[in-house]
Structure 1
Amino acid sequence: MITVKAPGKLYIAGEYAVVEHGFPAIIVALNQFVTATISPSDTVGSIASEQYQENSIVWRRRGDTMVFDNRDNPFHYILSAISLTESYAHEQGRELGLYHLGINSELDSADGKKYGLGSSAAVTVATVKALCQFYDLPLSKPQLFKLAAIAHLSVQGNGSLGDIAASVYGGWIAYHSFDRDWLHLQRKTASLTELLNMPWPDLQIDLLTPPKALKLMIGWTGSPASTSHLVDKVALVKAKQRTEYQTFLQASRACLQRMIAGFHAGDLHAIQTELRCNRQLLQSLGEFSHVTIETPMLQRLISLAEQAGAAAKTSGAGGGDCGIVLIDRTIDPQPLLKAWAAHGIEQLALSVHHVDEA
Structure 2
Amino acid sequence: MSNTAVADKPASTLQGATLPKWSPYAIAGGSIVVAVLIGLVGSLDSKIQWGLIAAVLFVVGTYVIAARVEGSRQAKDRIATSLVWVAFLLAVVPLVSLLWTTIARGVKVLDIYFLTHSMGVVGDTEPGGGIYHAIIGSLEQVGLATLIGAPIGVLTAIYLVEYGHGKLSKAITFFVDVMTGIPSIVAGLFILSLMLMWDMQPFGFAGSCALAILMMPVVVRSTEEMLKLIPNELREASLALGIPKWRTILKVVLPTAIGGITTGIMLSVARIAGETAPVLLLVFGNPFINNDPFHGAQASLPLYIYQQFAQSAGSGAAYDRAWAASLTLIAFVMILNLVARGIARWKAPKTGR
Q: TM over 0.5, yes or no?
A: no
- Band of TM-score, shorter chain: under 0.3
Higher helix share: 2
> Which structure: larger Rg?
2
TM-score (norm 1): 0.21
TM-score (norm 2): 0.21
